[in-house]
């Protein structure tokens, strides 16, 4: 993914991560997270996969939900805890440090009303996506919602072509920095 290399760079300094994401997405991701949070009802149990610094989790907490954030980065989870504390909402936030492949280890069947994920699933290898979707179905209560907002391939020939050209330009530095390249889901 185009954003992945930059995300890994700023992830080691979570206090500037949210600023960097805002710059990279021209504030669009904040608006998307607002739209996702608008779908949350008071009292709902929410799982935030790849919660990062907890910006979506805090939005869901403000709506009255109980949120469990899952992320593999201790740095990000520490910042998520700080963000929830700054909003005085940490009492309804639980944080779990582990891989998305370990959902079954931490959560029981039908534990959540809503599962959300923003700009995280595209970071996982493609073979993880089937697992995440299958396990999400197991974790959701009947009638539950799975809400995913991630980078995807653009529609239309011209936009897809331009996107591929830009991806090609970023491929070399991304590979040199990370020794791997990610693509949209």
Host domain of residue 62: 2-178
Query: Which stretches in the chain have pLDDT values below 50?
Result: 1-2, 181, 183-185
Hey, which bits of 32-139 come out as E strands? 45-49, 66-71, 93-97, 112-118
- Which pLDDT score is estimated for 93? 98
Q: What angle do CA 176, 178, 181 make, to 5 degrees?
A: 90
Contact of 8 with 182, CB cutoff 8 Å:
no
Burial call 9-27: b when 16+ CB within 10 Å, e when fewer: ebbeebeebbebbeebeee
Residue 161 domain flag? yes
Residue 183 domain flag? no
Sorted by sequence, the CB contacts under 8 Å of residue 1 that are 6+ apart come out as 122, 123, 151, 182, 183, 184
- Which pLDDT score is estimated for 95? 98
- Which pLDDT score is estimated for 25? 74
| Residue-wise pLDDT tens digits, 174-185 | 555 555 545 444
Q: Per the structure, how many domains does the chain have?
A: 1
| CATH number for 155 | 3.40.50.150
Q: What angle do CA 112, 80, 25 make, to 5 degrees?
A: 95
Contact of 49 with 67, CB cutoff 8 Å:
no
Q: How far is 29 from 104, CA to CA, in rounded Å?
A: 29
Residue 129 domain flag? yes
């Amino acid at each position: 993914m185009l954003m992945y290399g930059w995300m890994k760079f700023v992830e080691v300094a979570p206090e500037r991560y949210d600023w960097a994401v805002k710059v990279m997405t021209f504030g669009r991701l904040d608006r998307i997270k607002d739209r996702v949070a608008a779908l949350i009802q008071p009292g709902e149990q929410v799982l935030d996969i790849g919660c990062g610094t907890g910006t979506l989790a805090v939005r869901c907490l403000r709506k009255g939900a109980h949120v469990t954030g899952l992320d593999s980065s201790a740095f990000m989870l520490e910042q998520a805890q700080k963000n929830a504390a700054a909003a005085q909402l940490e009492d309804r936030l639980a944080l779990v440090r582990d891989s998305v492949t370990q959902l079954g280890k931490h959560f029981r069947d039908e534990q959540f009303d809503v599962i959300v994920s923003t700009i995280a699933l595209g970071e996982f290898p493609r073979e993880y996506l089937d697992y995440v979707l299958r396990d999400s179905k197991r974790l959701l209560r009947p009638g539950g919602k799975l809400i995913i907002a991630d980078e995807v391939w653009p529609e239309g020939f011209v936009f897809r072509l331009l996107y591929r050209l830009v991806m090609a330009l970023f491929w070399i530095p991304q590979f040199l920095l990370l020794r791997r390249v990610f693509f949209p889901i």
